[in-house]
């Protein structure tokens, strides 16, 4: 088997399913080098934008579901919360642009306390392949409590959860196998479930908020902590289920279409402007691996903080972070190592970040960064020898405008950050395949 990943067959899932083409055997010479129109980072981009298109086509279903939930929330005394572990819960709970009253019904990784469950609730449940039996059991428990349960997942996971009799099933349009691409050993890699569930759940939340306004109520929404006055605003509205006054009544699709449009806009900018740096990052990672160096990843963000090890993660990078702004204490960065750092709006340097960047540069390791660019001083602080992949989203991390409301709602940065992560992975797969196809065949 040649190369670090083995002989790789790069395949876009839709094409594989349509053609019925079998996967290559592990010892079969590489037949697809990844030079087609949809390979590498391009393949991931095409899948994700197609996923968003499919979600938008389903908007009438989202609206009907959200309207039923809004009636329970406004008139029925129900609370609302999320279940399904990281990253699904962490992305919806306590999140800039999200519902302030959103609860966590799951003890996700960085919470020590067990969640308390209200008497009446709407439960948003993210299906996760490696926890499917446990999650199905929880859905059954929620239904016995009388909760209104909305599940989010790709089609085959929804099928597995159907025996729990959720009230609403949302197809997230993730790739059929969870992973987008298949390696020569038949393993589906490059996760799609998380990004698809995040996009679908934020679309649903958009419709839920809009439906509440049509019933005369506006749920308080979070302003991101990166914006001045956010914590004071949070203290002012903390605990409120609804504002005293209704800013405006929103039509169905009014928020969700803004969210999907702005998410597409950022992804298009990444595709059009950042692909050379994504490819450069992938090349540097492959070079590091081939020379015996270690690949690390430092992730900061609700959706990506605990993402490594998610189903279909090929596990080429090891997380170096422990939690928010903290590194693991059991690792040592070597001079031949490479660290992919994906964050929010600042690079990981200075006292707040335990001097990560300074220590890494002193050790001689290489760094690639991906953050957004509205803080020019952060971008300028990146040395010329370190790659910068711009995420192209604006200050506030919320994109949907409610007329006469004081802030925008519904964030995009989580899906965008995850897209950068897996586009780098997909590009590594492509470049490894291209390199293998150029090697002369050996004779025995």
Q: What is the pLDDT of residues 189-217, one digit of tens each?
A: 999 999 999 999 999 999 999 999 999 99
Angstrom distances, CA of residue 442 to CA of 9, 144, 243, 411, 438 = 19, 63, 71, 52, 12
Instruction: Let me know if 184 is exposed, middle or buried by CB neighbors in 10 A (0-12, 13-18, 19+).
Output: buried
444 or 10, higher pLDDT: 444
pLDDT confidence of residue 6:
38
Cα 426 from Cα 370, distance rounded (Å): 16
pLDDT confidence of residue 108:
63
What do you get for the CA distance between the two ends of the chain, in Å? 14
Cα 276 from Cα 263, distance rounded (Å): 21
- Which two tokens mark 406? 């004081």
Residue pair 172/58 in contact (Cβ under 8 Å)? The answer is no
Q: How confident is the model at residue 112 (pLDDT cuts 50, 70, 90)?
A: low
289-339 per-position pLDDT tens digit: 999 999 999 999 999 999 999 999 999 999 999 999 999 999 999 999 999
pLDDT confidence of residue 220:
98
268-280 per-position pLDDT tens digit: 999 999 999 999 9
pLDDT confidence of residue 185:
82
- Which two tokens mark 383? 């040395």
Q: Cis before residue 87, ω within 30 degrees of 0?
A: yes
156-165 per-position pLDDT tens digit: 999 999 999 9
pLDDT confidence of residue 132:
97
Judge whether residue 106 has pLDDT over 90. Answer: no
Cα angle at 52 between 50 and 54, to 5 degrees?
Answer: 70
24-72 per-position pLDDT tens digit: 332 222 223 333 446 899 999 999 999 999 999 999 999 999 999 999 9
- Which two tokens mark 290? 């081939």
Average of per-residue pLDDT values in the chain: 90
Please write down the long-range contacts of 261-268, taking CB distance under 8 Å and 24 or more positions apart.
262/393, 262/399, 262/400, 262/412, 263/52, 263/199, 263/399, 263/412, 263/415, 263/416, 264/49, 264/52, 265/392, 266/391, 266/392, 266/393, 266/412, 266/416, 267/45, 267/48, 267/49, 267/416, 267/419, 268/49
- Token pair 């599940």 is found at 151
Q: How confident is the model at residue 387 (pLDDT cuts 50, 70, 90)?
A: very high
Judge whether residue 186 has pLDDT over 90. Answer: no
pLDDT confidence of residue 378:
97
Judge whether residue 379 has pLDDT over 60. Answer: yes
Tell me the three state secondary structure of residue 37.
Answer: coil
404-418 per-position pLDDT tens digit: 999 999 999 999 999
Dihedral angle sign, alpha carbons of residues 417, 422, 424, 427: negative
pLDDT confidence of residue 10:
36
Question: Mean pLDDT, to the nearest integer, of 350-374?
Answer: 96
pLDDT confidence of residue 235:
96
Dihedral angle sign, alpha carbons of residues 175, 177, 179, 182: negative
Judge whether residue 21 has pLDDT over 80. Answer: no
Q: How confident is the model at residue 441 (pLDDT cuts 50, 70, 90)?
A: low
The beta-strand segments (E) located in 282-382 are 295-299, 318-319, 321-323, 326-327, 338-342, 366-371
pLDDT confidence of residue 437:
75
- Which of 118-127, 172-181, 433-442 has the least mean pLDDT? 433-442
262 or 439, higher pLDDT: 262
pLDDT confidence of residue 217:
98
- What DSSP assignment string belongs to 399-420? -EE-TT-SSEE---HHHHHHHH
The beta-strand segments (E) located in 140-199 are 148-153, 168-171, 179-182, 188-191
Judge whether residue 133 has pLDDT over 50. Answer: yes
pLDDT confidence of residue 435:
80
Question: Mean pLDDT, to the nearest integer, of 379-393?
Answer: 97
215-224 per-position pLDDT tens digit: 999 999 999 9
Instruction: Give the other-Cβ count within 10 Å of 179's Cβ.
Output: 23
Q: How confident is the model at residue 19 (pLDDT cuts 50, 70, 90)?
A: very low
Q: How confident is the model at residue 110 (pLDDT cuts 50, 70, 90)?
A: low
pLDDT confidence of residue 442:
57
């Amino acid at each position: 088997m040649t190369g670090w990943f083995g002989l790789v067959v790069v395949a876009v899932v839709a094409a594989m399913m349509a053609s019925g083409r079998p996967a290559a055997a592990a010892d079969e010479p590489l037949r697809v080098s990844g030079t087609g129109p949809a390979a590498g980072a391009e393949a991931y981009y095409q899948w994700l934008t197609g996923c968003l298109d499919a979600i938008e086509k389903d908007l009438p279903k989202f609206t009907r579901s959200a309207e039923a939930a809004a009636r329970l929330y406004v008139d029925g005394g129900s609370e609302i919360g999320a279940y399904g572990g990281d990253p699904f819960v962490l992305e919806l709970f306590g999140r800039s642009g999200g519902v302030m009253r959103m609860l966590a019904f799951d003890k996700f990784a960085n919470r020590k306390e067990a969640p308390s469950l209200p008497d009446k609730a709407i439960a948003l449940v993210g299906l996760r392949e490696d926890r499917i039996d446990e999650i199905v059991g929880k859905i059954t428990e929620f239904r016995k409590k009388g909760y209104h349960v909305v599940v989010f997942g790709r089609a085959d996971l929804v099928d597995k959860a159907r025996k729990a009799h959720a009230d609403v099933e949302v197809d997230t349009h993730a790739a059929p196998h969870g992973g987008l691409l298949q390696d020569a050993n038949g393993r589906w890699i490059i996760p799609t479930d998380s990004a698809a569930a995040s996009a679908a759940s934020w679309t649903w939340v958009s419709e839920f908020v809009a439906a509440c306004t049509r019933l005369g109520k506006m749920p308080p929404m979070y302003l991101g902590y990166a914006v001045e006055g956010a914590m004071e605003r949070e203290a002012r509205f903390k605990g409120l289920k609804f504002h005293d006054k209704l800013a405006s009544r929103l039509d169905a699709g009014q928020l969700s279409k803004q969210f999907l449009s702005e998410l597409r806009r950022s992804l298009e900018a990444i595709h059009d402007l950042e692909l050379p740096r994504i490819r450069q990052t992938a090349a540097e990672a492959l070079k590091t691996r081939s020379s015996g160096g270690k690949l690390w990843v430092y992730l900061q963000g609700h959706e990506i903080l605990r993402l490594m090890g998610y189903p279909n993660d090929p596990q080429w990078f090891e997380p170096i972070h422990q939690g928010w702004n903290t590194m693991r204490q059991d690792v040592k960065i070597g001079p031949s190592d490479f660290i992919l750092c994906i964050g929010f709006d600042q690079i990981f340097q200075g006292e707040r970040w335990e001097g990560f960047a300074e220590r890494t540069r002193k050790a001689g390791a290489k760094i690639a960064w991906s953050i957004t660019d509205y803080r020019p001083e952060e971008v300028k602080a990146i040395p010329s020898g370190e790659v910068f992949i711009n995420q192209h989203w604006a200050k506030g991390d919320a994109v949907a405008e409610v007329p006469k409301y004081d802030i925008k709602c519904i964030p995009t940065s989580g899906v965008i950050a995850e897209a950068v992560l897996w586009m780098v992975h997909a590009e590594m797969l492509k470049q490894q395949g291209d390199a293998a196809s150029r090697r002369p065949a050996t004779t025995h």
